[in-house]
Amino acid sequence: MAFPGAILPVWGYHLSFDFIEVGRYFLAVILGLLSAVKVGEMVTARSGIRACITLGCIIAAMAFVALGLAAPPVSWMWRFGGTLLVGMAAGMMNSAAFQSLSSAFERDRAAVVNLAGAAFGIGCLTVALLVSLTYYVYTATSLLVLMAVIPGFAAVLFARANFAPPAQHAQRPLRAVWDEVKSPGAVLFSLILFFQFGNEWSVAGWLAVFLVHQIGVRPDTALGMLAFYWAALFLGRVLTQALLPAVGHSKLLLGSLLAALLGAIILSSTNNQFGAWMAILFLGGGFATIYPLVVEKIGHRFPDYHPGFFNGILSFGITGGLLAPWCLGHMADWWGIRTVMLIPLLGTVMVFLLVVMLWIETRLVAGE
């Protein structure tokens, strides 16, 4: 999932102003994720979780090899197709992961989401570090072939692994399911995820290109700062896990939103590396806690749902997350590269307002 934002400087987009073309790669990931929803369900239903996640790893390895052969100056359309396969692989792994975590999710929603998010952050950090440290060492083709080894090795491991069966749930009438999904709480929750993932992935997707164009840092330094962003997200989730028992969750959520807002303001206005480093720290640390805390607040409202319900809402959120950087390609082309960091600023304000509305709605429901 971190691949599009990390690979852009390797493909030379830090030197060009073809921002619309950059946005198309995020659109490809969205299309791949959406196409994987039904495929992942069918594979899991027929052959189990192990087959689904193994197939996802195989598709990812094939996609990276294909992208290595399609590095510039090959037409962007070939890279679009390869990135679409990356999105499909991610979607299948996401589907399998939610099924495999269903039992643990029911026992402790916040902890499972937080730890899964931390593991996800380690993977994104690894990708950014790998590209940053090898920027001047490998060609684009060599780097992508090297990246293909990782999911290829994972496919071998998962093909031999045993996964616990997903938790069993009683079938409920479609009408009852729909009534809860369209409830104000569920709508507010899905909108929070839509904007929050949009904030996170706008930064993750465009940060490296933004830093080169706006501040003038070297591409390997920009990739290192992208890795720092993922590290801040990862460490923030680890720290949140330690703070959850001791700190009021509403206060922690409010502090996270204010930190993210401060980071977005600094990053959209700074013209030096120190300001950028501090902004990234505030953004990553602030973003880290918002999703797991909101999940914890809303999770008790839907006790009968297995993670498939959250997977559907999460898919909506991820779609928003990658739809935002695609739209930013057009906005940057029209109004300049600085625009890409103004959107997370406005998005953080929107998340704050939606969290307040969700808090009010929850109090009203509790008082009925």
Tokens describing residue 74: 């090959």
Separation between Cα atoms, residue 141 and residue 131, nearest integer Å: 12
Residue-wise over 93-122: b if at least 16 C-beta within 10 A, else e?
bbbbbbbbbbbbbbeebbebbbbbbbebbe
Tokens describing residue 150: 């990782």
Tokens describing residue 138: 């490998």
CA-based nearest residue to 357, from 197, 246, 202, 195: 195
For residue 234, the Cα-to-chain-centroid distance in whole angstroms is 12
Domain coordinates of the chain in residue numbers? 3-163+173-367
CA-based nearest residue to 226, from 155, 182, 190, 277: 277
| pLDDT tens by residue, the chain, 368 residues | 899 999 999 999 988 889 999 999 999 998 998 888 788 888 888 888 899 999 999 999 999 999 999 999 999 999 999 999 999 999 898 878 877 877 777 777 667 766 777 788 889 999 999 999 999 999 999 999 999 999 999 999 999 988 877 665 544 555 555 555 567 777 787 788 888 888 998 999 999 999 999 899 999 999 999 999 999 988 887 887 777 777 777 778 888 889 999 999 999 888 899 999 999 999 999 998 887 777 666 655 555 444 444 455 566 666 777 788 999 999 999 998 888 888 888 999 999 898 888 888 877 776 65
Stated pTM of the model = 0.88
Dihedral sign from CA coordinates of 57, 62, 68, 70: negative
In order, the DSSP letters of 10-30 are TTTTTS---HHHHHHHHHHHH
CATH architecture of the domain 3-163+173-367 equals Up-down Bundle (1.20)
Residue-wise over 306-329: b if at least 16 C-beta within 10 A, else e?
bbbbbbebbbbbbbbbbbbbbbbb
